């Protein structure tokens, strides 16, 4: 099993990175959509309906499948022999980053549902601030896995 995973390593990592790119695209764009949704539309108007469709498609068709793929191929990399040195610090800082990123994903999913039931309670400014969180987590994750401190 270890031999097969080692042979597949470049492929596993390529798919992991492609999935990460797709997931991050959504993690950066969805809170931006929420900013405009909050500031430029009213519950029930045409723009509200359009934003809801865009947000649902982005979350269900791109972000969630990309997150699941990232996890599956990331965990496959963890199981690949010789890839993770558990005596280093980076696997733990990366773990903090990916758990934070997954929490952000779930939080954004709950806010999407708020919009779809006309119950959004956050301001555009709060969504702007939330927009920065995935960026900070991405910096932590990439530095962890590339610099490997």
55-74 binders of ligand HEM (CB under 6 A)? 70-71, 74
H or E stretch covering 88:
none
- Of 30, 66, 108, 141, the residue at the interface with ligand HEM (CB under 6 A) is 141
Region of residue 45 (left: phi > 0; alpha: psi -120 to 50; beta: else): beta
> What is the spatial distance between Cα 78 and Cα 27, in angstroms, rounded to a whole number?
23
Whose CA is closest to 30, among 126, 102, 127? 127
**13 touching ligand HEM, by CB under 6 A:** yes
Of residues 62 and 145, the one with the C-beta less far from ligand HEM: 145
Which stretches within 41-123 are classed as H helix? 46-57, 64-79, 90-116
Count of residues in contact with ligand HEM, rule CB under 6 A: 20
Whose CA is closest to 101, among 57, 61, 145? 145
75-114 binders of ligand HEM (CB under 6 A)? 75, 77-78, 83-84, 98, 101
**142 touching ligand HEM, by CB under 6 A:** yes
Interacting residues toward ligand HEM by CB under 6 A: 13, 16-17, 20, 24, 70-71, 74-75, 77-78, 83-84, 98, 101, 138, 141-142, 145-146
């Amino acid at each position: 099993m270890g031999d097969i995973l080692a042979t597949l390593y470049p492929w596993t990592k390529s798919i992991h990175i492609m999935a990460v790119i797709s997931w991050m695209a959504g993690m950066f764009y969805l809170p931006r959509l929420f900013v405009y949704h909050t500031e430029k539309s009213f519950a029930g108007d045409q723009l509200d309906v359009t934003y809801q469709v865009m947000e649902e498609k982005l979350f269900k068709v791109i972000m969630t499948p990309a997150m699941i793929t990232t996890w599956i191929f990331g965990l496959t990399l963890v199981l690949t022999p010789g890839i993770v040195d558990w005596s280093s610090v980076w696997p733990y800082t990366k773990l903090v980053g990916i758990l934070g990123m997954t929490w952000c994903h779930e939080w954004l999913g709950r806010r999407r549902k708020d919009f779809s039931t006309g119950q959004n309670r956050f301001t555009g400014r709060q969504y702007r601030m939330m927009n920065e969180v995935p960026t900070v987590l991405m910096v932590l994750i990439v530095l962890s896995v590339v610099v490997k401190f």
